[in-house]
Amino acid sequence: MSERIYSLLSRLNVWDRGFFGMRGLSNYNLSCCVNTLLQTFSATWEIGDLLDKWEAAGVRADTRNVPLQLKRVLTAMRSDSPQPAPHRDFLHSLDRNCVRLSTQHDADEVFLAILNLMQQQMDDKLLALQIQNLYKISVETHVQCLECSSVQTVTSYMLSLPLHIKEDHDSLEDCMTSFFRHQELRGINCCFCATCEKKTPSKQSVKLHSLPPILCVQLKRFRNCDGYTRKLDSRVTFPKTFDFSETLKEAFSSDFAQNDCKYTLHAVVVHSGSAMCGHYTAYVHHRMKQRWYYADDSHVAPVSWEDVQRTYGGHSRSTAYMLMYRRGSKENGQQPELSG
């Protein structure tokens, strides 16, 4: 698209009217964080497909029910109306569940809150489990005592992968490698050893037991320093696609059995500003249009992959904070197989 046409359409506010098949969301009482997550949920079409199967017979009048209101707003976001999608009922349902309006929130915390509320409030527990399984990362944590060599193994799961980043240049692959690297725990970090019956120095490692259809990655850009929270704007590169089986084989547990470990990026949550005063936006890959769009509340515009790459960080204060990857190399419109 030429710059002249882009400028003309921008002046006519065509982007905001959903001309390109995506609906914006008005900023209502500091709702940019939730607006951004709604755009990522809309781009994660598997959630909408599962919610469409939910009858919700017993909760139709429940204004506190988050999955019911999410189902309604995602349906509205799929329509071709030129107006921003109505989502105040969803915002108020979150507010009634302690995700307050008129408050700045952390996107990863709200994301996890929404998934947990869906698990709690859906009366169809099988569908609720299928939605959670979309994101469920199953891991094994091994803690070996450095005094008696005994090993404790705990199996657990996460709904997003929290990755620490460096103060300078970093990459997604480097962050993941660091997450799965062995760590020694000493001093105040010592763990209780059942064999020694005391806290001892230990060696900890995390191994992947299974990967989900949708992999959510959180780049931990906020650090506490002397009682203050600051944001790291350091550069973190991330690819369109990556394959765990090629780059992180050492992260697999002994019984890891998945064949398809290739993932394709379909949404990026972006944070602009400082830790104490910021704004959230999103880049999402449209399933039908097969191109990237930028969503800033009610403003929606088509963009390029090069625009997405500008969120790597460095000199820019608009930095990627959460990455959503879909298993498989293509968005082929088929429901991925869900683990039990």
In a domain, 284, yes or no: yes
Residue 337 included in any domain: no
286 assigned to active site: no
pTM over 0.85: yes
| Domain span at 172 | 3-327
87 is catalytic: no
Residue with the bigger pLDDT between 258 and 162: it is 162
Q: How confident is the model at residue 276 (pLDDT cuts 50, 70, 90)?
A: confident
Q: In this predicted structure, what is the pLDDT of residue 329?
A: 58
Residue 195 CB-half CA count within 13 A: 12
Look-up of token digits 């660091």: 178
Answer yes or no: is 332 within a domain: no
**Residues 142-162: tens digit of each pLDDT:** 999 999 999 999 999 999 999
Residue 336 located in a structural domain: no
Active-site residue, from 32, 145, 193, 261: 32
pLDDT higher at 268 or 275: 268
Is the pLDDT assigned to residue 326 strictly greater than 70? Answer: yes
More confident residue, 101 or 333: 101
Measured from the Cβ of residue 9, the count of other Cβ atoms closer than 10 Å reads: 17
Q: Is the CB of residue 285 less than 8 Å from the CB of residue 53?
A: no
Q: Is residue 268 part of a domain?
A: yes
Question: Which position among 87, 279, 285, 286 bears the catalytic label?
Answer: 279
The CATH code of the domain that includes 225 is 3.90.70.10
Q: Which amino acid is at 179?
A: F
- The answer to the question of residue 334 being in a domain is no
Q: Does some domain include residue 238?
A: yes
Do 76 and 86 form a contact (C-beta atoms < 8 A)? Answer: yes
Asked whether residue 339 carries a pLDDT value surpassing 70, the answer given is no
Buried b (16+ CB within 10 A) or exposed e, 47-68: bbebbeebebeebeeeeebbbb
Predicted confidence (pLDDT) per residue in 3-58, tens digit: 344 444 444 444 444 445 689 999 999 999 999 999 999 999 999 999 999 987 66
Domain count, the chain: 1
Strands of 128-213 (E only): list them.
Answer: 137-145, 151-158, 161-164, 170-171, 183-185, 191-193, 198-200, 202-210
Residue with the bigger pLDDT between 330 and 201: it is 201
Q: Which two tokens stand for residue 209?
A: 């037991």
In tens, the pLDDT along 47-93 reads 999 999 998 766 667 889 999 999 999 999 998 777 899 999 999 99
Q: Is residue 339 part of a domain?
A: no
pLDDT of 299: 95
Is the model's pLDDT at 237 over the cut of 70? yes
